[in-house]
Chains A and B, each alone.
Chain A
Amino acid sequence: MSWQPVIGLEIHVHLKTRTKMFCRCELEYGAPENTRTCPVCLAHPGTLPVPNKRAVEMTILLGHALGCEIVDRAVFHRKHYFYPDLPKGYQISQYDEPLCVDGAVTLPTGAGDVEIGIVRAHLEEDAAKNVHMGGAEGRISGADRTLVDFNRAGTPLVEIVTAPDLDSAEHAKRFLQLLRRTVVELGISDAEMEKGSLRFDVNVSVRPEGSDELRTRTELKNMNSFNFAAKGIEREILRQIEIYESGGEVVQETMHFDPGNESAPPLRSKEEAQDYRYLPEPDLVPVEPPRDLVERLRAELPELPAARIRRLAAEVDFDLAEGLVTSGRDRLFEQVGGDRRAVANILMNQFAASGVDPGAVNADELAKLIEARDRIPRQAFTEALAASGEPSFSAESYLGDGQISEASDLEPLIDQVLAANPQQVESYRAGKEGLLGFFVGQVMKETEGRANPKLVSELLREKLKA
């Protein structure tokens, strides 16, 4: 039997507001522990939440980008559980009346567009950060003691839930890359996994190809990179297929993904059999975004990454287009004139390797450099790319730098090489034209790679004809 994977994602994105979701503590990643706190985010008795208006606006903007309906009335709920990182004993979140619902994202793939449904996008607050000392690695049970850093408590967080519309690990990874790029471009999040400002869980199940049933799913948590996620999903798909094919049943469970380990062991989750006792948050009034605000934010929406991938795929191939857009190099690509495919390749390879911020580059100078790439020794070209982010960068200095492109400079050298290799000259003239490369190589060696190879070939051909 052939199996089809069914994959859904739950993505958490920190919003890049200046202050927290329900108090006015400033957000600063990496600030000394417990220095960005106040009575509200420490849940002192009697304190009350006041929603961050900017966070609501950012969520609406994201809702538009995800093709969602922005509701007239969203309600905050309290989600209860006891844990030291949850100061109030409940998280303020949105439950059955989220701000953004019923969206869809068109995911461009090499094999055409795939539509991914967005069930909802809602606004909530992040918990604090527990640091478990001693005992089992990173777990509260068995730890000698636990310290809590409340700087993160109350950071605005958007949760995006997709429909189970993804049918491969590859598509899941593509979707995540695209989403990450989208929130970064909207300016609503840094979406950096290493800082925890982008986190996601994956729900995986499989079903017989062609069926539309939904079988028992497992949840993969704590993925720390898109590549690990793709690996983990693939492994989980295979595991489930194996279970079904050997006549077993998949058990609903949560897997803690450990990239250092080949298996995804079940996680003892705090959510296990949890009753969150949802309660409409009585300290807040419903969020009723004015229609004119919703429309103004819709108008602010820039051209989205998915649309740009589709547009650029017509100029270069799909993989290059996707790479350029999801890596944030497509704007530079569009500004740099010259052969499209060559520019794209260089941006995705040598330029990418240089680590230069695409936003810092003078596109005209880069275009000149790329245009002249054949006349510049490889080493010098690499150095030029590495320097291309400097404000004073000029292609000119690299074009002239040691480049030997004058026939009069090269002719004596060529004569020297031919004179030193009479046997090879004879063979060439007898029909072994493949030896041209040998002569070019000799000239390049003599000039320490500074000769313009095109010109050298031309001159050699002429002289060997005689």
Chain B
Amino acid sequence: MIDTLRLTAEEAAGLIERGEASAAELHEAYLEAIAVRDGELHCYLTTVEEAEGAGVPIALKDVISTKGVETTAGSKILEGYRPVFDSTVAARCKEAGLPLIGKTNLDEFAMGSSTENSAYGPTHNPWDPERVPGGSSGGSAAAVAAGLAPWALGSDTGGSIKQPAALCGLVGLRPTYGTVSRYGIVAFASSLDQVGPITKTVRDCALLYRIIAGRDPCDSTTVELQEPVELPEASDLKGLRVGVPKELNEAEGIESGVSEQVGRAIELCRELGAEVGETTLPRSVAYGMPCYYLIAPSEASSNLARYDGVRYGPRVGNGDIRTMYERTRDAGFGDEPKRRIMLGTYALSAGYYEAYYGQAQKVRTVIRDEFAAALADFDLLVSPTSPTVAFPLGARTENPIAMYLSDVLAIPPNMAGLPGLSIPCGLSEGLPVGLQLIGPQFSENLLFRAAHALERALEFDFVPTRLA
């Protein structure tokens, strides 16, 4: 009997290696778990019946194009769309022998922080089904937390891996921009989108990152990794300088329970031998969000222009071309994509470009410089990943700004192109709290080492209490 709730991907690989379970048996075990629990949680939009490959099965967020398997990006406008090609990350998973379990739910076009913006209904948090799993990669996070996948890939534009990983008690890596190919990832904001793992352990995270990372000739913005991905073994933080950015840790809206757990983790860093000091990122935290909400919608308005009903996806209306465009896009897009298309179209319009998009790009440079300065004094920076624990479904749907603020701590390092790793560091009101570790560009190995040492010391149990 395979205990999918507890089994890590590394352990699953061990079962296969020792001949104790086949990939097909594992795949079957997850499908059975899905049959039992996904009715309540709604992590998956599509499941794949046949195991293809001899490795540890995987779930992919539904922005990741999979040849022959419906890929909707959580939108009606891509309902029924089956890619004729594999995204580079899907192809790399295939080459590594990882059978696809299914495609996971998400906020439409990855726009959201709760997975409530999916056109196919929300996903529920395995720790408390009355609450959201975070988003936009909520389906991937909830699936791994509920034992419906040993590991999964998500995508992160403004916190969409880190935040749901935090809210579901998991490890989530948003890699350095340019280390993971975006080829075949349904684009949201091209200069920010990055695919990364959501896993139960830091070592699983490193294993999966190793499979997907590296230059891709199909994505001009990717680079070769400077060093191979290492599996972390460290159990201390000796010699490491850990910076605590004041503004990221004292921002308005951080729940006291979250602060408490993060404070405890920071204390643990010291006990594990790290040198801990305070640092500051005043502009990054003050301007990160506004800057993000100009750049991401601008790029989104451009990236979503291709959904016009001409080549694929549903088409509404057969008359005049303008009418066809309007009806198709009106019926196909939900409120959040429409809101962002309008924001972005406005920000890019003649006469506004310099004041909005142009200015935001300049601010982005300021943020990058500010992080570089902080990282000159410290090897890595820590903060809460999310200001709050998982919130109840519907709590923020009527107030977009409140929803956007879910990512206020996750966004600033993204604007700087930096990698961020979220690991669970405790419970507040019985719900997981995430600790965000931020390093310089290409410092994934360092993040894995530090996170692994902390993970051992924290002894967080990733199985949701109510399911244990």
Once the chains are docked, how many angstroms separate the CA of A140 from the CA of B357? 33
Decide yes or no whether A244 CB sits under 8 A from chain B: no
Which residues of chain A are within 8 angstroms of B218 by Cβ–Cβ distance?
A: 48, 50
Once the chains are docked, how many angstroms separate the CA of A42 from the CA of B320? 22
Q: B190 near A282 (CB under 8 angstroms)?
A: yes
Q: A282 near B87 (CB under 8 angstroms)?
A: no
Once the chains are docked, how many angstroms separate the CA of A283 from the CA of B185? 12
Q: A39 near B85 (CB under 8 angstroms)?
A: yes
Once the chains are docked, how many angstroms separate the CA of A107 from the CA of B231? 67
Decide yes or no whether B465 CB sits under 8 A from chain A: no
Question: How many residues does chain B have at the interface if contact means C-beta atoms less than 8 Å apart?
Answer: 44
**What string of 1s and 0s marks CB contacts (under 8 Å) between B57-89 and chain A?**
000000101000001010000100101110100
- Residue of A with least CB distance to B84: A39
Decide yes or no whether B291 CB sits under 8 A from chain A: no
Once the chains are docked, how many angstroms separate the CA of A383 from the CA of B126? 90
Main secondary structure of the interface of A (DSSP, over half): loop
8 A Cβ contacts from B278-321 to A: 298-299, 301-302, 304-306, 308, 310-312, 320-321
Decide yes or no whether B397 CB sits under 8 A from chain A: no
Instruction: Pick from A45, A51, A275, A285: contact of B306, CB below 8 A.
Output: A45
Q: A46 near B310 (CB under 8 angstroms)?
A: no
Decide yes or no whether A279 CB sits under 8 A from chain B: yes
Once the chains are docked, how many angstroms separate the CA of A277 from the CA of B185? 24
8 A Cβ contacts from B144-187 to A: 182-187
Decide yes or no whether A88 CB sits under 8 A from chain B: yes
- Stretch from A77-85, A328-336, A389-397, A447-455 forming part of the interface with B: A77-85
Which residues of chain A are within 8 angstroms of B71 by Cβ–Cβ distance?
A: 45
Once the chains are docked, how many angstroms separate the CA of A226 from the CA of B294? 47
Instruction: Pick from B219, B305, B312, B320: contact of A90, CB below 8 A.
Output: B305
Q: A146 near B353 (CB under 8 angstroms)?
A: no
Interface residues on A, range: 20 to 34
Q: B217 near A277 (CB under 8 angstroms)?
A: no
Instruction: Pick from B83, B184, B191, B305: contact of A82, CB below 8 A.
Output: B305
Which residues of chain B are within 8 angstroms of A277 by Cβ–Cβ distance?
A: 301-302, 345, 348-350, 353
Q: B186 near A46 (CB under 8 angstroms)?
A: yes
Contact of A89 with B184 at beta-carbon distance under 8 Å, contacts A45-B83, A283-B221 already known: no
Once the chains are docked, how many angstroms separate the CA of A140 from the CA of B325? 14
Decide yes or no whether B220 CB sits under 8 A from chain A: yes
Once the chains are docked, how many angstroms separate the CA of A365 from the CA of B217? 53
* Residue among A140, A277, A278 with the highest chain B CB neighbour number at 10 A: A277
8 A Cβ contacts from B2-40 to A: none
Decide yes or no whether A301 CB sits under 8 A from chain B: no
Which residues of chain A are within 8 angstroms of B310 by Cβ–Cβ distance?
A: 84, 87, 148
**What string of 1s and 0s marks CB contacts (under 8 Å) between A75-111 and chain B?**
0001010101001111000000000000000000000
Which residues of chain A are within 8 angstroms of B298 by Cβ–Cβ distance?
A: 279
Instruction: Pick from A44, A78, A88, A148: contact of B312, CB below 8 A.
Output: A44
Contact of A285 with B220 at beta-carbon distance under 8 Å, contacts A48-B183, A78-B302 already known: yes
Contact of A88 with B305 at beta-carbon distance under 8 Å, contacts A45-B65, A46-B184, A148-B310 already known: yes
Main secondary structure of the interface of B (DSSP, over half): loop
Q: B187 near A45 (CB under 8 angstroms)?
A: yes
Q: B302 near A47 (CB under 8 angstroms)?
A: no
Once the chains are docked, how many angstroms separate the CA of A80 from the CA of B300? 13
Decide yes or no whether A284 CB sits under 8 A from chain B: yes
Contact of A282 with B308 at beta-carbon distance under 8 Å, contacts A45-B65, A46-B183, A47-B183 already known: no
Decide yes or no whether A49 CB sits under 8 A from chain B: yes
Decide yes or no whether A435 CB sits under 8 A from chain B: no
8 A Cβ contacts from B329-356 to A: 345, 348-350, 353
Decide yes or no whether A342 CB sits under 8 A from chain B: no
* Residue among B71, B305, B349 with the highest chain A CB neighbour number at 10 A: B305
Once the chains are docked, how many angstroms separate the CA of A275 from the CA of B348? 9
Instruction: Pick from B185, B217, B299, B304: contact of A282, CB below 8 A.
Output: B299
Which residues of chain A are within 8 angstroms of B348 by Cβ–Cβ distance?
A: 80, 277-279
Q: B182 near A279 (CB under 8 angstroms)?
A: no
- Residue of A with least CB distance to B190: A282
Which residues of chain B are within 8 angstroms of A48 by Cβ–Cβ distance?
A: 182-183, 218-220
Once the chains are docked, how many angstroms separate the CA of A118 from the CA of B52? 58
Q: A51 near B220 (CB under 8 angstroms)?
A: yes
Once the chains are docked, how many angstroms separate the CA of A284 from the CA of B191? 10
**What string of 1s and 0s marks CB contacts (under 8 Å) between A49-73 and chain B?**
1110000000000000000000000
- Residue of B with least CB distance to A280: B361
Which residues of chain B are within 8 angstroms of A464 by Cβ–Cβ distance?
A: none
- Residue of B with least CB distance to A148: B310
**What string of 1s and 0s marks CB contacts (under 8 Å) between B196-227 and chain A?**
00000000000000000000011111000000
- Residue of A with least CB distance to B346: A277
Q: B78 near A45 (CB under 8 angstroms)?
A: yes
8 A Cβ contacts from A271-292 to B: 275, 277-279, 282-285
Once the chains are docked, how many angstroms separate the CA of A87 from the CA of B305? 9
- Residue of A with least CB distance to B312: A44
Once the chains are docked, how many angstroms separate the CA of A279 from the CA of B303? 11
Q: B65 near A284 (CB under 8 angstroms)?
A: no
Which residues of chain B are within 8 angstroms of A284 by Cβ–Cβ distance?
A: 220-221
Q: B349 near A275 (CB under 8 angstroms)?
A: yes
B74 to chain A, nearest CB (A): 12
Instruction: Pick from A46, A87, A148, A285: contact of B221, CB below 8 A.
Output: A285
B23 to chain A, nearest CB (A): 27
A357 to chain B, nearest CB (A): 40
Which residues of chain A are within 8 angstroms of B87 by Cβ–Cβ distance?
A: 46
Once the chains are docked, how many angstroms separate the CA of A47 from the CA of B436? 31
Which residues of chain A are within 8 angstroms of B78 by Cβ–Cβ distance?
A: 45
B91 to chain A, nearest CB (A): 12
Once the chains are docked, how many angstroms separate the CA of A44 from the CA of B298? 20
8 A Cβ contacts from A123-170 to B: 140-141, 146, 148
Q: B299 near A279 (CB under 8 angstroms)?
A: yes
Contact of A89 with B81 at beta-carbon distance under 8 Å, contacts A82-B325, A275-B349, A285-B220 already known: no
Which residues of chain B are within 8 angstroms of A140 by Cβ–Cβ distance?
A: 321
Once the chains are docked, how many angstroms separate the CA of A88 from the CA of B301? 12
Decide yes or no whether A43 CB sits under 8 A from chain B: yes
Contact of A46 with B185 at beta-carbon distance under 8 Å, contacts A87-B306, A90-B305, A279-B302 already known: yes
Which residues of chain A are within 8 angstroms of B301 by Cβ–Cβ distance?
A: 277
B30 to chain A, nearest CB (A): 25
Once the chains are docked, how many angstroms separate the CA of A128 from the CA of B187? 22
Once the chains are docked, how many angstroms separate the CA of A260 from the CA of B81? 46
Which residues of chain B are within 8 angstroms of A51 by Cβ–Cβ distance?
A: 220
B21 to chain A, nearest CB (A): 33
**What string of 1s and 0s marks CB contacts (under 8 Å) between A17-59 and chain B?**
0000000000000000000000100111111111100000000
Q: List 13 A-B contacts (CB under 8 A).
A: A39-B85, A44-B311, A45-B73, A82-B325, A84-B308, A89-B304, A90-B305, A277-B301, A277-B302, A277-B348, A279-B348, A283-B190, A284-B220
Given contacts A82-B325, A146-B321, A277-B353, 12 further A-B contacts (CB under 8 A): A48-B182, A48-B219, A50-B218, A80-B348, A82-B308, A89-B302, A90-B305, A277-B301, A277-B345, A278-B353, A279-B302, A282-B221
